[in-house]
Structure 1
Amino acid sequence: MKTESIKELLTGEKVLQEVKVKGWIRTFRSNRFIALNDGSTIHNIQCVVDFENTEEEILKQLNTGAAISVTGTLVESQGKGQSVEIQVKELKVLGIANPEEYPIQPKKHSLEFLREKAHLRVRTSTFSAVMRVRSALSFAVHEYFNKNGFYYVNTPVITGSDAEGAGEMFRVSTLDPKNPPLTEENEINYKEDFFGKETNLTVSGQLEAETYAMGLGKVYTFGPTFRAENSNTSRHLAEFWMIEPEVAFLDLDGNMDLAEDFIKYVIKYALDNCKDDLEFLENRLLQEEKTKPQAERSDMTLTEKLHFVLDNNFKRVSYTEAIDILKNSKPNKKKKFNYIIEEWGADLQSEHERFLVEKHFKAPVILFDYPAKIKAFYMRQNDDNKTVRAMDILFPGIGEIVGGSQREERYDVLLDKVKAMGIDEKELWWYLELRKFGTAQHSGFGLGFERLVLFATGMTNIRDVIPFPRTPQNAEF
């Protein structure tokens, strides 16, 4: 007999039919009522056990966390809280869960505790909802680009270049760490390493994606990236996923159009296809907000925040204009910002970005034309020789969610910037060579996928929107 999903059964289309379902017990009460969940939906289905005709040994095994198979008749429920239920005819225990050992009991657990049980936390309502939304967003990313003529490119995880120029990279090596081969200068001889050179885990697939954009026109990469930044904040991971489109013959204005259209598409997809999960997460967030001091509470519900992005045109503002707004703002004049804005050239912090979005413009904001000194080497230099064709998209509650730019397509200008930033031009010979053979304007952006999931689910810590977070001093599981 075919096993049905609980999501399918809750539509009620198979009432009075015999059905079979498998899942994990959330609760078992009165020796009669099982709340069963199989991961297909936030909702459980109630299974009513015939106490008198069920072996006592089986009843003892019906504990939270146990995996079971149930066959019975789907009927309209007489109780509150569910429209249908299963009158059980046959029940099999597929895997027991000792209640004295199983840690995910039917009570409220802290998110910190659940991170320690990352292999089991997806069995909770919160994490199953988050991961279903994550899956839907991932699908929407691929669907958007496929519909818009982009080609999916897989860029290397192991690389010899540092796309960001920050040097915060994880080394990849097969050399003996206790006794590595040395050069005459007493330095590690990477020529004897597996790849014959020093290599690292990538911080971005952008540079390689650019090469394919200059042949295929429109490409995107969506894969894991790594930063060896010793940061324990709620917004940083050492391993995370990046969405990076690159488009030939596209200027900065077109890049901003693309980024806004893309973000609105994936958020709308989540709203249309994850209604139950988002409703649960919104209610969870409302309960969490009640425990905060009034001043720290959000002005918007989760759904309102998503529609804030979806229903507003993104306000486009130059960095210079934004600095003037911030310098003259009340929080800056009254020194309520943690980082006071004093002069042009300051690197904006999350508090400044959120002020622009939530208080000043009351809309998502795209800042553009940043000072060259605070941006990466590959961004196109403006004629003023002070700013570059960069853009960041700012969201409520989160600050920057997208960073992008028109790329520097002029060989001489790019070479000068590489030298000025102390980057080894020999490592980027192929990237520079793109500017010699059929060069053209091109643009792209990067969106940290976990930041998007964080925003869409209302979770407050990025470690709770990826299955197995990698952070300083933590590579468990």
Structure 2
Amino acid sequence: MNSKTVAQLLSQNETLQDVSVKGWVRTFRANRFIALNDGSTINNMQCVVDFENFDEALLKRVTTGAAIHVIGELVESQGKGQSVEIVVKTLEVLGDSDPETYPIQPKKHSFEFLRENAHLRTRTSTFSAVMRLRSSLSFAVHKYFNENGFNYMHTPIITGSDAEGAGEMFKVSNLDAKNPPLNEDGSVNYKEDFFGKETNLTVSGQLEAETYAMSLGKVYTFGPTFRAENSNTTRHLAEFWMIEPEVAFMDLDGNMDLAEDFMKSVLGYVLENNKEDLEFLDNRLLQEEKTKPQAERSTMSLIEKIKFVVDNNFKRVSYTEAIDILRNSKPNKKKKFNYIIEEWGADLQSEHERFLVEKHFKCPVILFDYPANIKAFYMRLNEPDHEGRETVRAMDILFPGIGEMVGGSQREERLDVLKEKMKALDIDEKELWWYLDLRKYGTAVHSGFGLGFERLVMFATGMGNIRDVIPYPRTPQNAEF
């Protein structure tokens, strides 16, 4: 007899038939009711055991966490909470679980405790739901790009360039750390290293993706990126995943169209395909919100936030207009913002972004044309405005509850302008000679954006800490598992 998943058994209409199912014991009540879960759904299968038909020694091994194989008759449930249940005929314990030491007991655990047991935390309802949603979102990303003519590109993980110019990169080297080869001036001679130059783990696949966009037209990357930022906030990881499409012959307006359509598509996918997980996480978040002071509670539920994005047109606002709105807002005038907006050129914080989305426009917002000096070197420079201020063709998408979700731009396609910008920022042309070649040979308008995948998963699950939406978080002083 072929085993079926719990999800398959709960969704079928036929009862009064023998079925086979394997999974892990969540609870075993009164030596009679086994709550069995196999990870296929948020819901458990209730398996009813007649104590008199089974050896007592066998039933003592049916403890929380044990893996078991059940064969029995699928019948309409006599109790509340499930439509069907299994009347057990045969029961096999596949792997014992020590009830004294098994850490994931049927009680409420703190997320901090579960991070310490990340290898087992997906045995809980919350984390199984989060990781199923992460999987669905990942599939939705590839589905969207595949259906819209994009080519999937694997960009290098080891690189000699710093796409962001941040300098917070992990070095990759096989030199003897205690006795590296030195130059005459005492600096490390990286010419003798494995790659013959100084190399790092990538912070972005964008620059390499641009090279392929300028021949394949439409490409995207979806892979791991790394940032050696010594930050222990709820929004930072040292290892995270980035989604980065690049499109030739597309300007900033087209980039904003693409990003809006993409975000609505992937979030719409989980609304349709992960209903039970979303309902569970929605209720979890509701209970969490009740523990907060009234002023700090969200005005929207999790599902309402997702629908807020899927169902509303994104408002497009220039940075200059946004600064005027924020400067004249009540929170700014009454100094309720932690960062007071005083003049044009300020780098917006999450509190400002959320005010624009949640209070002022009451819809997702795309800000564009940012000051040049707060954005990356590769963004296309605009003509100075009437006050002589320089802006670039950048855009950020702002969501409720989280602020910035997507960052992108029209890329600088003019060789002379790009070289001037690199010179001003002391970026060595020799390191990016291949990037400059794109502006020599067949240069054209092109654009793209980046989306931190874990930030998207946080938004879609309502989780408040980025360490809880990736299987094994990498943070300062932590590389466990």
SS in 1 for 2:292: coil
Residue among 388, 407, 411 paired with 1:407: 411
Q: Which residue in 1 is equivalent to 2:292?
A: 292
Show CA shifts across 1:277-298 (max 9, x none): 0000000000001100101100
Aligned pair 1:70/2:70, yes or no? Answer: yes
Task: State the alpha-carbon separation in 2 of the partners of residues 99 and 179 from structure 1.
Answer: 51
Deviation, structure 1 residue 12: 3.3
SS in 2 for 1:325: helix
Deviation, structure 1 residue 102: 0.3
Deviation, structure 1 residue 13: 2.7
Aligned pair 1:429/2:428, yes or no? Answer: no
Aligned pair 1:447/2:451, yes or no? Answer: yes
Show CA shifts across 1:133-156 (max 9, x none): 000000000000000000000000
Q: Which residue in 1 is equivalent to 2:87?
A: 87
Task: Report runs of 4+ in structure 1 exceeding 2 Å deviation.
Answer: none
Deviation, structure 1 residue 56: 1.2
Task: State the alpha-carbon separation in 1 of the partners of residues 308 and 175 from structure 2.
Answer: 52
Deviation, structure 1 residue 426: 0.8
Task: State the alpha-carbon separation in 2 of the partners of residues 419 and 120 from structure 1.
Answer: 51
Show CA shifts across 1:374-403 (max 9, x none): 000000000116000000000000000000
Compute the TM-score of the two structures, normalised by the length of structure 2. Answer: 0.99
Show CA shifts across 1:5-45 (max 9, x none): 00000013331111100000000001010000000000000
Alignment of 1:295-374 (within 5 A): 295-374=295-374
Aligned partner letter, 2:419? L
Give me the CA root mean square deviation. Answer: 0.6
Alignment of 1:266-277 (within 5 A): 266-277=266-277
Alignment of 1:119-130 (within 5 A): 119-130=119-130
Structure 1 unaligned residues grouped into runs of 5+ = none
Show CA shifts across 1:266-320 (max 9, x none): 0000000000000000000000011001011000001110111011110000000
Task: State the alpha-carbon separation in 1 of the partners of residues 331 and 476 from structure 2.
Answer: 33
Aligned partner letter, 2:286? L
Task: State the alpha-carbon separation in 2 of the partners of residues 174 and 16 from structure 1.
Answer: 64
Show CA shifts across 1:166-195 (max 9, x none): 100000000111111111111001011100
Is the 1:133–1:270 contact (alpha carbons within 8 Å) kept by the matching residues of 2?
yes
Task: State the alpha-carbon separation in 2 of the partners of residues 257 and 465 from structure 1.
Answer: 28
Q: Which residue in 2 is equivalent to 1:227?
A: 227
Q: Which residue in 1 is equivalent to 2:480?
A: 476
Q: Which residue in 1 is equivalent to 2:114?
A: 114
SS in 1 for 2:11: coil
Q: Which residue in 1 is equivalent to 2:3?
A: 3
Q: Which residue in 1 is equivalent to 2:187?
A: 187
Compute the TM-score of the two structures, normalised by the length of structure 1. Answer: 0.99
Aligned partner letter, 2:207? L
Task: State the alpha-carbon separation in 2 of the partners of residues 193 and 218 from structure 1.
Answer: 35
Task: State the alpha-carbon separation in 1 of the partners of residues 86 and 400 from structure 2.
Answer: 44
Corresponding residue pairs, total = 477
Show CA shifts across 1:222-254 (max 9, x none): 000001111111111110000000000000000
Task: State the alpha-carbon separation in 2 of the partners of residues 364 and 342 from structure 1.
Answer: 24
Task: State the alpha-carbon separation in 2 of the partners of residues 417 and 473 from structure 1.
Answer: 36
Aligned partner letter, 1:378? Y
Deviation, structure 1 residue 423: 1.1
Is the 1:12–1:83 contact (alpha carbons within 8 Å) kept by the matching residues of 2?
no
Is the 1:12–1:84 contact (alpha carbons within 8 Å) kept by the matching residues of 2?
no
Q: Which residue in 1 is equivalent to 2:216?
A: 216
Task: State the alpha-carbon separation in 2 of the partners of residues 475 and 389 from structure 1.
Answer: 38
SS in 2 for 1:278: helix
SS in 2 for 1:10: helix
**Which stretch of structure 1 is more off in the superposition, 8-17 or 251-260?**
8-17
Deviation, structure 1 residue 114: 0.5
Task: State the alpha-carbon separation in 1 of the partners of residues 64 and 306 from structure 2.
Answer: 34
**Which stretch of structure 1 is more off in the superposition, 378-387 or 292-301?**
378-387
Deviation, structure 1 residue 128: 0.2
Task: State the alpha-carbon separation in 2 of the partners of residues 336 and 221 from structure 1.
Answer: 40
Task: State the alpha-carbon separation in 1 of the partners of residues 359 and 452 from structure 2.
Answer: 25
Residue among 447, 457, 464 paired with 1:460: 464
Deviation, structure 1 residue 211: 0.3
Task: State the alpha-carbon separation in 1 of the partners of residues 236 and 279 from structure 2.
Answer: 26
Q: Which residue in 2 is equivalent to 1:417?
A: 421
Task: State the alpha-carbon separation in 2 of the partners of residues 440 and 225 from structure 1.
Answer: 27
Task: State the alpha-carbon separation in 1 of the partners of residues 423 and 112 from structure 2.
Answer: 45
Task: State the alpha-carbon separation in 2 of the partners of residues 459 and 318 from structure 1.
Answer: 30
Aligned partner letter, 1:165? G
Is the 1:23–1:37 contact (alpha carbons within 8 Å) kept by the matching residues of 2?
yes
Task: State the alpha-carbon separation in 1 of the partners of residues 82 and 262 from structure 2.
Answer: 37
Task: State the alpha-carbon separation in 2 of the partners of residues 19 and 243 from structure 1.
Answer: 42
Task: State the alpha-carbon separation in 2 of the partners of residues 420 and 90 from structure 1.
Answer: 75
Deviation, structure 1 residue 49: 1.0
Deviation, structure 1 residue 220: 0.2
Aligned pair 1:147/2:147, yes or no? Answer: yes
Deviation, structure 1 residue 425: 1.2
Aligned pair 1:51/2:55, yes or no? Answer: no
SS in 2 for 1:435: helix
Q: Percent identity?
A: 81
